[in-house]
Chains A and B, each alone.
Chain A
Amino acid sequence: MTIVVEMTWQRRRSRFNHDWLKNQYLLSFGKCVNVLAGKVQDPEFDRERFLRRVVREWEQRGGEGLALGQDYESAMSPAVFFETTALRNCSPDTLVWLRPLIHELWKVRCDAGQHAQAVIDAANDTHAAFEMLKAAVEGDRTESDETLADRFNGFADCCQRLSQAISRLESTVRVI
């Protein structure tokens, strides 16, 4: 069941994780992983340019993953129905106990707190890995190819884990 209220968060999730992170950003990493690992020789592949693009894109969009985790509970809890459906007619006496009850039941049913925290942790880990990669890409170029490869692979793994953590979040508001 999908309702209008969830669209903002759901669209943000869809555009970040599905459209960009999983199907654009991470997919584009494949060739670079092979070049850095020495599995593929491709003189036309501009490694520096590619890595600068990777850094630039994450700087622009990386924060969206963290925000998805932080906003998850407030955006996807069925408690939103008290603002958007006939339940807005509930009396204040009822709202005092029914709204938190429905929210807590939902949190238990779908492990909402744990899943949201996993996204926040994965986003923070990814950003830490990104900072190390960025230092290697934009620094004084004294890093060896091996170090650069390690940092890129570390960042790619973190991105992968972030994508998987976001995938585990509910994609629709469910009352039960």
Chain B
Amino acid sequence: MTKTDAPKTKVGVIDNNRERRNAMASAFTSAGCEVVQFYESHDRYGNATLKSDPASEPSASFQLVLCHTTDRELATDTRLGVPGGVTCTSIIYYGGSGGNDSNIPNGALRIWRQILGGTECLNETEAQEIVSFINSNMSEEMPVCLQPPKNMELLPALSILCQGYLGVHAAPGSLDVDVEVKWREKHTMELVKEALRTMKWNEVKKEMVAEIMRSPEGRARLRDGDPDARIVGVTSPAWWLDVFRGRKNLVDDVRGEWGSSPNFDESVKPLLEAILGKEKIEPGCVVEAFNAIYHRLKSER
């Protein structure tokens, strides 16, 4: 039997919000599934009728049902004339709480991102991954959208240290003159400016920046350190390593949080190697890592 001859996976979508229901149904239709939508229709007196689309659905038994968390009671509604209501092999809940909704039964599959309206719904690729996962009796790797959010620690910490490093090198409101001279390399300078824009550095009011950072002397102290005051500067590997002390495999640990996303070796690893080295930390590797981590964390949202 060729792929096109294979029976279509039957998917039910239970959701009283039309825009969201249509978007969810559309993703699974595009993924080659046979989709039936269920929803409650209210008259002006508030009386509800359970409807299905297509209305002629003879049976309400599905391989997969997608159910909005606040409409879950419809799954067991018998007004369709189907004894026992809508039945299915697998059910996946979704809603505006990103998987944290207290209505979701313990241990049930759920989409972990917030789905408030149609725009946050699954796309065709995600629908295909879910269908493939369900049809494998859940033996395949669980699709990312069904996995709980990763408990990241190292990438956020690195991003914050990078922001500190860049902030120390930049005066409130604009880049410091000596930084301009030192970071003459045009490419690096452009990247730094982009990073500072991303951080919204120029919008932070001068008085909100810590006292020690406001004067050129203060920033120089934070940047290069002060042996007399036992201050370690941000250009010293020790300043960074202090945070990650006790980790024997820093590069591997950070790579673990990075996951299968590309460009780790080119963008983040050079900073980690510098942290583990003895030379001064240069702005080029900091800004490369910062920008890459920014995009990586953004993809998690």
Contacts and interface: CB of A to CB of B under 8 A. Distances in A.
A105 interface: yes
Contacts of A172: 301
Interface stretch (B57-65, B90-98, B123-131): B90-98
A176 B97 contact: no
Given A78-B160, A87-B157, A104 B243 contact: no
B141 interface: no
Given A19-B103, A176-B198, A105 B163 contact: yes
B58 to A, nearest CB: 32
Interface string B90-131: 000001111011110000000000101000000000000000
A171 B97 CA distance: 9
Contacts of B152: 1, 3
B83 interface: no
User: Dominant SS at the A interface?
Assistant: helix
B156 A40 contact: no
A135 to B, nearest CB: 27
B243 A40 contact: no
A159 to B, nearest CB: 17
Interface in A138-158: none
A23 interface: yes
A174 B199 CA distance: 12
A19 B44 contact: no
B36 interface: no
Contacts of B294: 176
A167 B163 CA distance: 28
A101 B156 contact: no
A102 interface: yes
Contact of A40 (B45, B157, B199, B231): B45
A24 B241 CA distance: 50
A81 B242 CA distance: 15
Nearest to A104: B208
Given A81-B160, A105-B200, A34 B212 contact: no
Contact of B164 (A4, A10, A101, A174): A101
Interface of B: 44-46, 70, 95-98, 100-103, 114, 116, 149-154, 156-157, 159-161, 163-164, 167, 198-201, 203-205, 208-210, 212-213, 222, 230-232, 239, 242-245, 247, 293-294, 297, 300-301
Identify the 5 closest CB pairs spanning chains A and B, nearest first: A97-B210, A2-B149, A1-B300, A14-B97, A104-B208
